[in-house]
């Protein structure tokens, strides 16, 4: 079996790669979103703490 045959998936390329492609993309986006949320949370916490520190 060569690579072009492999990617062709016997005519089902769109369905097979469409399934795995979207699944992997969903995982990647979720990982990025969780990382982003952590960064944002830490940033907000620092802001809140600094504001509290100024008013005290």
Partner 1 sequence: MAINWFKYSAPTTFYGLAGKLIPFFAWPAAILFVIGLYIGFFVAPTDAVQSEAYRIMFIHVPSSILSMFIYLIMAGYAALGLIFNTRLSSMMAQALAPTGALFAFISLWTGALWGKPMWGAWWVWDARLTSELILLFLYLGFIALQASIEDPRRADRASALLAIVGSVNVPIIYFSVKWWNTLHQGSSIKFSGTTMHIAMQQAMFSILIACWLYVIAMSLARVRSIILEREANTTWVNGLKEVRS
Give the binding site for partner 1 (CB under 8 A): 6, 9-12, 14-16, 18-20, 22-23, 26-27, 30-31, 34-35, 37-38, 41-42, 44-46, 48-49, 52
Residue 34 Cβ, how far from partner 1 at the closest point, in Å? 5
Between 4 and 20, CB nearer to partner 1: 20
Structural contact between residues 47 and 54, judged by C-beta atoms closer than 8 angstroms? no
Q: How far apart are CA 48 and CA 44, in angstroms?
A: 6
Burial 12-31 (b: 16+ CB within 10 A, else e): eeeeeeeeeeeeeeeeeeee
Residue 27 Cβ, how far from partner 1 at the closest point, in Å? 7
């Amino acid at each position: 079996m060569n690579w072009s045959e492999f990617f062709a998936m016997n005519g089902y390329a769109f369905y097979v790669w469409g399934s795995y492609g979207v699944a992997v993309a969903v995982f990647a986006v979720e990982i990025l979103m969780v990382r982003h949320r952590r960064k944002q949370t830490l940033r907000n916490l620092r802001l809140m703490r600094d504001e509290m520190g100024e008013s005290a």
